[in-house]
Amino acid sequence: MTAKPVPAAALPWALIGAACLGSFAATSSGTTRAPFLLEMSADLSVSMPLVANLVSLTATAWGTSSAAAGWMADRVGRRLVLIVTLLGLAATLVAQAMAGSFLWVAVWATAGGACCGAFTGTVYTEVAGRVPDSQRGRALGWVMSGQSLTLLVGVPMAAAVGSLIGWRGWLVCVGALALAGSLGMLLTVGRGSAGHGRGGPRTSMRKALTGRVLGLLGIGVAERICYGLAAVYFAAFLQSTYGLSLGELAIPLALFAAGNMGGTVLGGQVADRVRDRLLTFAVAMALSGGAALVLFLWHPSPAVSVALGFVYVLLNALGRPSYMAALAAVPEDIRGTVLGLNGTSASVGWVGAAALGAAMIGWTGFEGFGPLAAALALLAALGGVLGRRRPA
């Protein structure tokens, strides 16, 4: 007699939806500055690369708080961390909008980055713990789609709405989204169940930092630099290369972001259908490295550059869910710590992207982005191949 196959459990869609909204607000708090680099530099009387390096301040705070998020959640519960951090983000965004100098914008952006890091480090743990490994790629892919929506919807919307109300008004809008995300966490993360309350098991950092985990965190840094170079500077690249206005950026940035969104959703499906997730990640990164060379070294027209940007970011995003699912495939008692450290490594990547991008603009211009992104993509691909040989 043949046993009937057991159907897969339904994904916790309410939680995933709330997590997507929170991720969208957190990522938008920094990424949607991209169309306003020139406007902010003029308003605050500082250089454009200095405004771009707000990403570095935000990412440093993001990475530090993400590493501490597991410890915080064990002390006060994941539910409280998820709710309070989004409330804090909303407050810091309003404070940035009211700031009269670059110094105070930087101070409040750093505080907001700390709120974002604690949120993302905790929400991935919450979602990963609510689904089995066979569905983790899709679940985490959908959560990451909240970040992808920042490029698909957030940046183009920022360019369009910001042309009417300015960068300060846009920050207030993002603060409202963070407030809505906090309400979503209140409604979807349960009380009193495992991992939501106080007194969770303490995790040794030494136990979490195995050779495999360290290797994965390292290739995550390279992958995030590749992504960050495009996310932070693509709008400025189009403006500098083709002289596009802020309003003219909306459609190109929406198409660019559609590639990121499509790659994330497709990558989540692929991650749960392949046995070797790190090989999938390595192939996607190697292909994206080739696309980076063409994107930044060959720009005959705006249409061609936008099409190449679509391909580049799609390939980059295609491997990310496989990477995250591989990283989450650790014992439950260290998963929160490991995924929190993923936020730290991602922040190092964002800092590297902002700093290397600014230096490259001053040295060779945007043409230097192609070889830089290609080299880092190949390094990440090599790391993924080598990571397959390490035991879990």
DSSP state of 131: S
Task: Give the pLDDT score at 184.
Answer: 92
* Cα–Cα distance measured from residue 358 to residue 373, given in angstroms and rounded to the nearest whole number: 14
Q: Is residue 7 part of a domain?
A: no
Question: Do the Cβ atoms of 38 and 163 come closer than 8 Å?
Answer: no
Residue 4 lies in a domain: no
Please give the residue range of the domain that contains residue 244.
13-387
- pLDDT bin (cut points 50, 70, 90) of residue 390 is low
CB 97 within 8 A of CB 171: yes
Q: Is residue 261 part of a domain?
A: yes
Q: How many CB atoms lie within 10 A of CB 326?
A: 23
- Domain at 320, CATH number: 1.20.1250.20
Mean per-residue pLDDT, 101-113: 91
Whole-structure pTM value: 0.76
User: 57-71, 157-171, 215-229: which has the highest mean pLDDT?
Assistant: 215-229
Q: How many domains does the structure of the chain reveal?
A: 1
Q: Is residue 5 part of a domain?
A: no
Q: Indicate the range of 71-75, 120-124, 364-368 predicted with least confidence.
A: 71-75
Per-residue pLDDT at 192 = 45
Say yes or no to pLDDT of 222 above 60: yes
Write down how long the chain is: 392
pLDDT of residue 191: 58
Residues 196-214 have pLDDT tens digits of: 444 445 555 666 677 778 8
> Cα(22)–Cα(26) distance, rounded to whole angstroms?
6
Beta strands in the chain (DSSP E): none
Nearest to 59 by CA among 214, 173, 221: 221
Q: Are 281 and 319 in contact (CB under 8 A)?
A: yes
